[in-house]
Amino acid sequence: MGENMKPSTVKIKKMPSRFKHQVPKYKITRSDDCINCGTCAKTCPYGVHERPEGHNRVNPPINYKCIGFECQSKEFCCLTQCPRQALSLSLNPMYETLGDYRWTADMITGTWIMAETGYPPERTDLEYNVGNSGGGFDKLRFKFPANPPKVDKAEISTAIELNRRNDGRAPVVISTPVYGGGMSFGSVSLPTMVSKAHNAAIWNTFTCTGEGGYPEILMPYDDHVITQVATGLFGVREETIQRVKIIEFKYAQGAKPGLGGHLLGEKNTESVAKMREAVKGASLFSPFPFHSVYSIEDHKKHIDWIKEMNPIALVSVKVSTPNDVDMVAVGSYYAGAHIIHIDGGYGGTGAAPDIAKKNIAMPIEYAITKVHNFLKAEGARDAVTLIASGGIRTAHDLVKAICLGADGAVIGTAELVSLECVRCGNCESGRGCSRGIASTDSELADLFTEEWATQRLTNMYHAWNYQLVEILQKFGMKSVKELVGRTDLLEHIDYSK
Amino acid sequence: MDKADKILESRSEFLRQVPPLVPNPEEEGGCGVTGFISSIPVTGKNIFEPSAQMHNRGNGKGGGIGAVGFVPEALGVSRQVLDGDYMLHIALLDSSVAAEVEETYIKPNFTIDKSEKLDTLDDYRSIGLEVRPPDIMRYFVRVKDDVLDAFIQEKGLTFMERRDAEDEFVYQNSFKINTRYYASLGEKKAFVMSHGRNMMILKIVGYAENVVRYYQLDDFKAHIWLAHQRYPTRGRVWHPGGCHPFSALNEALVHNGDFANYQSIYEYLKQRNYQPLFLTDTEEAALLLDLWSRVYKYPLEYMIEAMAPTSEMDFDMLSPEKQQIYKAIQTHHVGASPDGPWFFIIARNDVRDGQFQLIGITDTAMLRPQVFALQEGEVQVGLICSEKQAIDATLISLVREDARFRPIADKYWNARGGSYTDGGSFIFSLKNSGDASGNKKLVCTDKFGRVIETPQDKEICDVTQPVESNEACKAIEKKLQAFFAEKDPATATRKIVAYIQENMVGFDANSLRFAVQTIKKHADENEDFNQTAIDSLTLLSDLRYNTGKIKRSSVQHVIKLALDAIFDETTLITGKSNSIFSRIDFATRGEIRAPHNNEKILVIDAEAFEPEGDLCDAVLIVKAYQLGWKRFIVYKYRGQRFTGCGFGPATGGVRIDVYGSSGDYLASGIDGMEIYVHGNAQDQLCQIMKDGKLVVYGDVGQTFMYGAKGGTAYIMGNAAGRPLINAVGRPRVVINGTALDYLAESFMAGDPLNGGGFVVLNGIGFNDEDGSIREYDSPYPGSNIFSLASGGAIYVRDPQKKLALEQLNGGEFNEISDADWELILPYLEENEKLFAISIDRLLTVDNQKKSPQEVYRKIMPKK
C-alpha cells in the first residue's frame, strides 16, 4: 500500500448478492405454456434463466438480473426467443417499495451492482447517479466541454493530500478522495467494521471508528483507521489516540445537530458494553456538546491535547452545518485542525431521529460553497482539507461536492448499501437489521463474512473511482485536485439554458 | 406612565434616527477574562502579566482593559473633578472627525474641566500590533446647567434627581455620537469607549496587555483593573469597536462565553428603548445592567437574579420572602436572562453608594471556568479570573510593586451558578474605611450579602526581613537536627512534620521562617537530606493544621520560597553530580538525556515553557520518560497544560509531583502513573483516564474525569461542575469537599461491588482559623447528582440526611452494606494517609462516633 498506491492495481472480483432474490425492478412471468425447452437459459446473457443439467424444469427466473424492457430490442431477448411465447415482462410492483426520494430504488440497485461487479451498471434503465429529491445534487448536472484536452486515463490521479498545514505532522495522502464515515461498534457489527477498515487499507484511504471504542481486531489497519473522539468519549483511550494517523473530533452530526450519539439499550449487548466499559442493556446517550468545550478557546485546547498525545497525527474536526458553519470552519482552522469535515443534513442511518434528519442542518451543497469561499477569503483554503459528508450517495455526488469546493467526501450510507442495506430504517433496534449490518446480535452479525463484505466495498469504491476518472477525462483534467471549487462546471437543470 | 417608562420614553425620538444595522460579522466564542480590585491604587503593569498568561484564550484580534478609581494628581485634575466629572473617552478611528465631534457634541453641552489626547507609543508596530489603535480624546466634563434644565423640561424628567438626569443626558449624548460616527457608517469613524465617572475603557485590535503598552499605562494607577482577551473567529478585524469591556455608564463589563438568545435579549432591550449599536452579546449584557441599575434602580442582588435566575432545588431552598421576589423578577425578566455559557466580570463605580466594585457572575450551569480569590492584610486585593494561574500571575506582579502583597491568596474558590448558597456571584466592594487613616477597605460578599472573610487576627511574615536566630530558634534547630539524623527518611519526614505542626501554635513569624530555613539548610549541606526536606516542606504546605498566629497563606509563601530555592539549587542536567536529582529548564531542554549515576528524579523548572505545543514542558516530560526517567518534580508552573499526557499505555512506576499553578488537562489519558498536585488543580483533569492515581491537595476544576475509564483519585477539597460525567469502567474517587453540580451525571461504572467504579463524597471542609475539619451545611447543595446514571455508585457522607430524592434524577438512596464499607474502607485509609483526614473524624458526628451505616449513604441507579 502506501502513498503511491494506484487505484488501477486494486483487484476486483465478482461478489454476488447474499440473497437469491434481491428486490428486482422487473418481473418475468412464465406461463403454463412453457415446455421447459431451455431456450431462454441459453439465450439470456445475464443469467436470469437457468436450466440446470439433469433437471426437468427450468428454474424460476432470477428477476433482479433482468435488464428489463431495453432487452426487447436485442436479438437474444427471451421474450422473443421463447418458442411458445410463454414469457412476459412487467415492472415488479414491490420495487416501488424500495428506497425513497433521495435513495431511489434505481440508485440502490445501481450501488448493489457496483458492489457486485466493481463497475457501474451497463444497463441503461437505472438512473443511479442522481436521486429524485427535487433539489440539491439531484438538480445539478455537469457541463462537459465539447473539446476537452486529450488525457489518457492512466495519467489521471485521484489522490489528495490530507495534511496541508506544513507543520511537520504526517504527510497523509489518500488514493481516492473518499473515506468511510464513523460508525461505532454497537451501531454496526464487527464484520462491518473490519471490512470497512480492510477496504480502507486496500484503497489507501480511511475508515473511522465512530464512538464505540477501537476493537483490537482493527489493529492491522491502524494506518487506515481514524479514531473518533466524540462527546461520550466511549472507548477513547490514550492508546487508541496514539495508534492512528488521524483523530477526528465529532462535535456534531449533520443528521442530528444538537444531539449526541445514542445507542438504545437493545443494541447495547454484552460485547458492546464491554468495549465501552458501560453497563449492558442501558441506553447510552452521548452528551451534546463536549462538556469540556463551550467555546473556541476550549476547542483549541482540546485539539492541543490530542496533538500532545499523538505528535504526528492529523486532527479532523467534524461539525454539522449550522448557518454559521463558515465561522465554525475558520475557527477550527485557526485552532489547528488539518481537516474540516462538514456534515450536512441528508445523512444518518435509521437510528437518527426523523424529526432531526433533513430538518436542522443546512443542506450540504450550500454549506460546502459557503465554507470553501469563506476559507478562500480568509486566505486559509490552501492550508486545510475540506471534507463533505451527509448525503454523498454516488460518484456523481462526490464530483459535485468537489466542484462546489470540497477536497473529498466521507460516505456512510453508500457503504452500507453495498453490503445490501435496503434502507428499511430499523437501525436503532437490537434485532432490527434484517441484513445483519447494523446489529451486534450474535445471530444477525454472522449473516455475512468479512471477505464478502470487504470485496463488496472494494468493488463499490472501484466503480466510483472508475466513474470519477471518466468524468475527469471528459473535463480534460489530470488530477481530481483541479476540480476543487469549479462551480462553473456545474449547471442547475431548472435554470440551465 | 411610571418614572422608568418616562426615562426610556425620552429616548424615542433619537432612536428613530438609528439606521438599520448590518449584523455583526465578527463572531466569537470564548476568551480570557481577568480582573482585580486593590485597596491601594496599583499600576497598569499588574494587568499585563495575567493578560499575557491568557494569550491562549485569545487570538490577538481584540483586547481591552478597564480601570476604575484613579489618583487625581496622575490625571492632572482635582479630587472634586475626578469624583464628580464624567470622563469621556472617545476613540477616533478617523482623526479628521475630532474637531467636528467636539464642536457638535461636547462643547455645546458640557463644561469641560480638562481635555487631552491620550499619550501613545510613537509606533504601534514596535509592540507587534498590526492595526493602529485609535487615538483617544479624554474629556472631564459636567453637563451645562442650562442644557440640563432644557433636557429635563423637554423630556418631562422633572421627577428625577438632577444627577440622575445628568447621567441620562450623558448616556443619550454618547449614544448620538455612536449612532452618528459608528453605527450608521460603513466606514466607522469614532465611538465613545467609556463615559463613566472615575473610570476608563481602552480597547485595541491586539492582545490586551498591549493596551497598557500602547497607551503607556505601565505606571498609571487605579484601584480596579480588568482585562479581556478576545477570540473573534473571523480573520480581519480592523477596529476595536466589538472588543470588551463594554459599558453603559459607570461600569465596565467583560464576558467569556456567548448567548444563545441574543435575539430575544435584543428584542427585550429594544422594547425598553435600548438599542445595541455594536451588536455583540457583551454589549447587551452591559445594557441590561444599566437598565436594571440606573432606570429600574434594582439592588445588585436583584440584578444578579435577573441575569442568573435561581432554579430547581436551589429555588426551593430560598426563604418564602425571597421566593416571592425572585419569582417576580424571573417572571418579568427571564426573557433577558442570557442563555448559554457565560461568565461576567464587572468593574463598577457605584457612585450612589460611594464605592468601587468588582463583580463576578457565572451562568447557572457554570459552563465557563471561573476562579475567585481574596488576599487580606495591610493591603487587600480581590481577584476574579478564568484561570487560577492568571490570579497567581497577578499576585506575583503585585508583590514586585509592593511587598505588602503576597504571591499566594488567602482563599481561592468558585461560585455556584444560580444557587441558594452563594447565588453564583461574588462582589468585592471598596469603600473608605471611615477611620482617620483615609484608607480604603475591601469587603467581599456573595449575592446575598454574606461576607467572605479570611482570619483577621493572624500575622503575615515579612519575607523581606532577615531571619533572626534567637533563643527560641536554638531549640528548633536542635530538634530538627535530631530528626534529620534519623536513618529512615520517611520517619524523619514524619517527625519533622509532626513537630512543626504541634509547635506551630507557639511560633511567631521569625520562628516559622527559621524552622523552614533550617530544613532547607539541611538540604543545602547534605544532598541525602534533599528528599526529606522536600517531603517535609511539601506536606507542611499541603496539609491543613492550626497555623497558630500566622496566616496559612503566609506559611505557604514562606515554604514556597524555600522549596523553589531547593529546586533551583539542584544541579543542572548539563552539570555533574552524584545526586539523585537533576534539573532541567527551558534553556537546557535540548540537553535531555537518560539518567546517569544515581539520578532518579528529574526536576523541571517549568517557568519559561509554553502552555501548549512543541515547546510545552509536557512534551519534554514524555521525551524524558522515553529516555528512562520515571520520577519528575515540576515546579514554577504557571498554567502549562497536559502534564502526564502522551506517555502511552502501562506507565506504572511513574510519578510526577506538580508545584505552582498547574494547567488544564493534567493527567488526561494516563494509564498507570501517579500524579501529585501540590495545590489547586485546574479544569479537565483525568479525562479518559484509564488507570493510575491522581492526588490533589486542593480543589479540582470543571469536568474532572470526564469519560474516565478507571484509576483512582483523591481530592482534598472540592470539585467544580460536572465531575465524572460520562465516566465508565472502574474509576474510584474520594472527594473530601463537595462539587458545584452535576456530579457523576450519566455515570456508567458498572457494579462497584463487582469491580465497578464509585465516588466517595465526604462533604467536609476546613476551618480557616485552626485548620480543623468542619461539615458543610449539605454535603452536596447542587440540584443534580447522579442524574441519568446507569452504573457505579456514590457513597456520600450525609449523617443528617440532607440530600433529598429531588436531587437525584434516576438514582436512589440505599443503606450501605458491610460489603460497601469494606469496599470503600481502603480508599478512606489512603485518604487519611494522604490528607490526614481521619476515618475516625469522618465517622464522628456532633462529637459522637457513629457506625458507617449511620454516616454514609449509597446512591445507586434505580432498579
A297 and B722 within 8 Å at the Cβ level: the answer is: no
- The CA distance from A77 to A68, in Å, is 10
Residue B244, classed as helix, strand or coil, is: coil
Q: In chain A, which residues have their Cβ closer than 8 Å to the Cβ of B29?
A: 294-299, 331
pLDDT tens column, A144-180 = 999 999 999 999 999 999 999 999 999 999 999 999 9
A286 → chain B, closest CA residue: B726
Which of B641, B649, B861 has the CB atom closest to A301's CB atom? B641
B664 in contact with A, Cβ within 8 Å? yes
Q: What is the DSSP letter of B282?
A: H
Q: In chain B, which residues have their Cβ closer than 8 Å to the Cβ of A311?
A: 619, 646
Nearest residue to A353 (alpha-carbon basis) of A424, A289, A425, A441? A425
A294 and B670 within 8 Å at the Cβ level: the answer is: no
Which of B28, B59, B645 has the CB atom closest to A305's CB atom? B645
A238 and B707 within 8 Å at the Cβ level: the answer is: no
Contacts of B146 (CB under 8 A, 6+ apart): none
A291 and B618 within 8 Å at the Cβ level: the answer is: no
Average pLDDT across each block of 10 residues of chain B; the chain has 863 residues. List them in order.
Answer: 86 84 58 92 92 79 93 96 97 94 97 96 92 95 97 94 96 94 83 96 92 95 94 68 90 90 92 89 93 94 96 94 97 92 95 96 91 95 93 94 95 95 97 88 97 92 93 93 94 97 95 97 90 97 96 97 96 92 97 95 96 95 98 96 96 97 96 97 96 98 96 97 96 97 95 97 96 96 94 97 93 97 98 97 96 97 88
Which of A283, A295, A305 has the CB atom closest to B29's CB atom? A295
A216 in contact with B, Cβ within 8 Å? no
- At residue B62, the pLDDT reads 85
pLDDT tens column, A451-484 = 999 999 999 999 999 999 999 999 999 999 999 9
A309 and B28 within 8 Å at the Cβ level: the answer is: no
B748 and A241 within 8 Å at the Cβ level: the answer is: no
| B756 within 8 A of B737, measured Cβ to Cβ | no
B614 → chain A, closest CA residue: A308
A238 and B671 within 8 Å at the Cβ level: the answer is: yes
Return the CATH fold of A26-97. Alpha-Beta Plaits (3.30.70)
Nearest residue to B395 (alpha-carbon basis) of B643, B717, B42? B42
Q: In chain B, which residues have their Cβ closer than 8 Å to the Cβ of A275?
A: none
- At residue B1, the pLDDT reads 60
Nearest residue to B67 (alpha-carbon basis) of B208, B194, B196, B201? B201
Nearest residue to A373 (alpha-carbon basis) of A415, A429, A325? A325
Instruction: ipTM value, please give it.
Output: 0.92
B612 and A308 within 8 Å at the Cβ level: the answer is: yes
Q: Assign 3-class secondary structure to B727-774.
A: CECCCEEEECCCECCCECCCCECCCHHHCCCEEEECCEEECCCCCCEE
pLDDT at A2 over 50: no
DSSP-derived pairing of the beta strands A178-180 and A408-411: parallel
Q: In chain B, which residues have their Cβ closer than 8 Å to the Cβ of A237?
A: 649, 669, 671, 688, 690, 709
Between A108 and A258, residue with greater pLDDT: A108
Provide the b/e sequence for B288-322 (b: ≥16 CB within 10 Å).
Answer: bbbbbbbbbebebbbbbbbbbbbebbbbebbeeeb
For chain A, the domains span 26-97, 153-492
Supply the CATH classification number for the domain A153-492. 3.20.20.70
Q: In chain B, which residues have their Cβ closer than 8 Å to the Cβ of A279?
A: 748, 750, 790-791, 861
pLDDT at A397 over 80: yes
Nearest residue to A354 (alpha-carbon basis) of A254, A255, A251? A255
Contacts of A419 (CB under 8 A, 6+ apart): A115, A192, A195, A435, A437, A448, A453, A456, A457
- At residue A1, the pLDDT reads 43
Question: What cell does A286 get?
Answer: 452521548
φ, ψ dihedrals at A357, nearest 5°: -60, 130
A304 in contact with B, Cβ within 8 Å? yes
A305 and B725 within 8 Å at the Cβ level: the answer is: no
Judged on CB neighbours under 10 Å (0-12, 13-18, 19+), B3 is middle
A277 and B703 within 8 Å at the Cβ level: the answer is: no
Nearest-5° angle of CA A140, CA A376, CA A370? 40
Helices (H), B294-357: 300-307, 312-316, 320-333
Which of A232, A279, A308 has the CB atom closest to B791's CB atom? A279
A236 in contact with B, Cβ within 8 Å? yes
B244 in contact with A, Cβ within 8 Å? no
Q: How many CB atoms lie within 10 A of CB B22?
A: 9
A233 in contact with B, Cβ within 8 Å? yes
A264 in contact with B, Cβ within 8 Å? no
Residue bearing cell 474502607: B825
Q: What is the DSSP letter of B520?
A: H
A243 → chain B, closest CA residue: B648
Between B765 and A257, residue with greater pLDDT: B765
Output the CA–CA distances (angstroms, integers) from residue B534 to B251, B541, B542, B577, B673, in the order listed.
47, 11, 12, 19, 21
A300 in contact with B, Cβ within 8 Å? yes
- The CA distance from B796 to B810, in Å, is 16
A375 in contact with B, Cβ within 8 Å? no
A309 and B341 within 8 Å at the Cβ level: the answer is: no
- At residue B32, the pLDDT reads 83
Q: What is the DSSP letter of A383?
A: G
- The CA distance from B648 to A238, in Å, is 6
**Which one of A169, A228, A277 makes the best mutation probe of the B interface by having the most chain B beta carbons within 10 Å?**
A277
- The CA distance from B447 to B339, in Å, is 20
B682 in contact with A, Cβ within 8 Å? no
Task: Enter the pTM of the model.
Answer: 0.94
A233 and B706 within 8 Å at the Cβ level: the answer is: yes
Kindly report the average pLDDT of chain B as a whole number.
94
Q: In chain A, which residues have their Cβ closer than 8 Å to the Cβ of B59?
A: 334
Q: In chain A, which residues have their Cβ closer than 8 Å to the Cβ of B62?
A: none
**Which one of A284, A298, A370 makes the best mutation probe of the B interface by having the most chain B beta carbons within 10 Å?**
A298
B792 → chain A, closest CA residue: A279
Q: How many CB atoms lie within 10 A of CB A322?
A: 17
Residues paired with B440 in a beta bridge: B432
> Number of Cβ pairs closer than 8 Å across A and B?
161
A379 and B235 within 8 Å at the Cβ level: the answer is: yes
Instruction: Report the gap between the CA of A167 and the closest CA in chain B (Å).
Output: 11
φ, ψ dihedrals at B284, nearest 5°: -60, -45
B725 and A291 within 8 Å at the Cβ level: the answer is: yes
- At residue A126, the pLDDT reads 94
Instruction: Report the gap between the CA of B641 and the closest CA in chain A (Å).
Output: 8
- The CA distance from B369 to B857, in Å, is 31
φ, ψ dihedrals at A302, nearest 5°: -60, -45
Residue bearing cell 432591550: B269
Q: Which bin fits B412, alpha (ψ -120 to 50), beta or left (φ > 0)?
A: beta
CA-only gyration radius of chain A, Å? 23
Instruction: Report the gap between the CA of B60 and the closest CA in chain A (Å).
Output: 12
B28 and A296 within 8 Å at the Cβ level: the answer is: yes
B732 in contact with A, Cβ within 8 Å? no
Domain A26-97 matches domain A153-492 at the CATH topology level: no
B646 and A295 within 8 Å at the Cβ level: the answer is: no
Between A392 and A496, residue with greater pLDDT: A392
A295 and B258 within 8 Å at the Cβ level: the answer is: yes
A308 and B367 within 8 Å at the Cβ level: the answer is: no
Which of B28, B669, B748 has the CB atom closest to A309's CB atom? B669
Q: What share of chain B is helix, strand, coil (3-state, %, to 5)?
A: 35, 25, 40
Q: In chain A, which residues have their Cβ closer than 8 Å to the Cβ of B788?
A: 285
- At residue A296, the pLDDT reads 84
A238 and B670 within 8 Å at the Cβ level: the answer is: yes
Q: Which of residues 684-723 of B touch A (CB under 8 A)?
A: 684, 687-688, 690, 702-703, 706-707, 709-710, 722
φ, ψ dihedrals at B429, nearest 5°: -115, 135
pLDDT at A12 over 70: yes
